[in-house]
Amino acid sequence: MRIKRWGDFAYIKESDDAGKPGFWNISEDDIRDYFQESIDEGYQIEVEFGFVGEIRSWNYKDQKSYYLERFTKKMTSGMNTPAISIVIRADEASINDVSDNDVSDNLKFAYSIISEEADAEIAILDADGDIGGIDGIVAKGGLFYTDTWNENAEEGKMHEVEGHVEFLVKQKQGVKITQKQLAEYYKWGSYETKGDLIFVDYSLEDLADEILARDSSYKDLLINGEGIYDSYWGSDYQPDFNSLFQYYLDKENEVLFVKALIKEIGGIEELVNSIEHSAHDEEELKAMKEEELIQYLLKERFYSTLKEVSTDSEVLSDIRQSYGDWASQAHADANLEEIRSEFDEILDDNFKYEKGTREVEKKSKFNKDENGNWRTYREEETFYLIQFDSEWIEDMGIDDLEGESLTSIFEQYLYNNSKTSYELKPYFSDYGDVDDKAWNKDVKSDLLRFLNK
């Protein structure tokens, strides 16, 4: 037995949990039960479950826009207020089916019991907006209202509602929706999860194709950095003799170089014979032990004698070439990193993301196996996980969200918000930072190898 009269204000439910949806405190079956008297008298009841949303409205008097709470099927991540839209109709198409019996009390009963059971506040609307409180609603041969909320209204004047009466049921207790729950609610595909967060996964190449202008400068170098080294030549970075000894070679390698030079020339005597002797005592130099001669040459002002005897040294040429190669690569590395940093700055300004590298399998474009299939190879690639933001779906309708892939939603957001034509504008440095310690270690290995031949 179900008792539905406003005056009795009592009801019986078969089960507290029967038919109750996930986020909402009341089921559609119960709602229809509470309106059964109105339904019996020909009124149509439409029930939808969703959330409290907003619509933007323009106030001509104040010349500014403001937002009104309205029902929406759209869920967002973060806090949501569950809502139920209950639309009561006495449309012209069915007006002959609506009786002249007054069922206003039934609407009041339903209003009261739903607000209590759903723990909700209820706004009363028609197609034009708010129409006051429940006490002013009349359901008798149609739907009407009196201006109970308007102090200046003519007392007792009745207005026919525009289109329908809507009970906008707004639950008092909000629910926090995680990004993962949102994806499950809309049945999205093509996304990665980390805890309750969701991400779209892009390789560097694919993401660059999405957000950079098609002919963006440096885009090719961003995707394939190897090409940058074609523009940096070691011969342009070789240091002069004095700079090599004053700034780059460490003390140990200075000594090893002189030892290698002595060996290359053919011994101390041959080295001394190659010196212009006007400023030196030849016999005194020839009488020096190797360590003494090394210190003599290294401590001389501006390394004048050492520079003189090293003019045709292949050992010196190899060291200078080695430093030039390291310096050119360091400069190329620095400018390549600047290109990559510029790309990441674009991402920093627009998204939350995680960046990493991974090994992937790719197909060769030039090499087939004996069966005519393209051979595969393993390669490391840079990838980005772009974290979902509710802004991506702000301007999308519910029909455009259900069953979509998150990547297509993301790309539509980029397109709709003019985020597909960024340009790379890196600030290139004049030089790179050579790892002098590592370079000296490399030089030491070469010099020792030469000395031990």
Residue range 365-384, pLDDT digits in tens: 667 667 777 777 788 899 99
Amino acid sitting at position 332: A
Angle at 14 between CA 8 and CA 16, to 5 degrees: 95
CA pair distance 342, 86, nearest whole angstrom: 52
> What is residue 442's predicted lDDT score, i.e. its pLDDT?
97
Phi, psi (deg, nearest 5) at residue 187: 60, 50
> What is residue 287's predicted lDDT score, i.e. its pLDDT?
87
Q: How confident is the model at residue 151 (pLDDT cuts 50, 70, 90)?
A: low
Q: How confident is the model at residue 297 (pLDDT cuts 50, 70, 90)?
A: very high
Here the tokens at position 91 are 């449309």
CA pair distance 453, 449, nearest whole angstrom: 6
Q: Quick one: CA torsion of 373, 227, 210, 384, rounded to 10 degrees?
A: 80
- Taking the alpha carbons at both ends of the chain, their separation in whole angstroms is 107
CA pair distance 102, 141, nearest whole angstrom: 7
DSSP state string for 279-304? GS-HHHHHHS-HHHHHHHHHHSGGGH
CA pair distance 166, 72, nearest whole angstrom: 13
Which of 251, 429, 258, 241 is closest to 323 using CA atoms? 241
Place of tokens 């030849």: 282
Here the tokens at position 22 are 């996930």
Q: Is the pLDDT of residue 234 over 90?
A: yes
CA 341 to chain centre: 15
Q: How many CB atoms lie within 10 A of CB 134?
A: 19
**CB within 8 Å of 148: residues ≥ 6 apart:** 132, 133, 135, 136
**Mean pLDDT over residues 334-357, rounded?**
97
Q: Is the pLDDT of residue 173 over 70?
A: yes
Q: How confident is the model at residue 152 (pLDDT cuts 50, 70, 90)?
A: low
CA pair distance 450, 453, nearest whole angstrom: 5
Q: Is the pLDDT of residue 1 over 50?
A: no
40-87: per-residue pLDDT in tens?
A: 999 999 999 999 988 776 555 555 666 788 999 899 999 999 999 999
> What is residue 22's predicted lDDT score, i.e. its pLDDT?
76
Q: How confident is the model at residue 148 (pLDDT cuts 50, 70, 90)?
A: low
pTM of the model: 0.76
Range with lowest mean pLDDT among 21-25, 237-241, 263-267, 289-293: 21-25
> What is residue 2's predicted lDDT score, i.e. its pLDDT?
37
Here the tokens at position 43 are 């009124």
CA pair distance 87, 84, nearest whole angstrom: 10
Q: How confident is the model at residue 16 (pLDDT cuts 50, 70, 90)?
A: very low
> What is residue 9's predicted lDDT score, i.e. its pLDDT?
32
Here the tokens at position 225 are 């950095």
| DSSP letter assigned to residue 253 | H
Are 258 and 309 in contact by the 8 Å Cβ rule? The answer is: no
Q: Is the pLDDT of residue 289 over 60?
A: yes
How would you classify residue 269: left for phi > 0, otherwise alpha for psi between -120 and 50, otherwise beta? alpha
CA dist 98 → 33, 34, 41, 162 (Å): 18, 18, 6, 17
CA pair distance 269, 272, nearest whole angstrom: 5
Q: How many CB atoms lie within 10 A of CB 121?
A: 13
Q: Is the pLDDT of residue 104 over 60?
A: yes
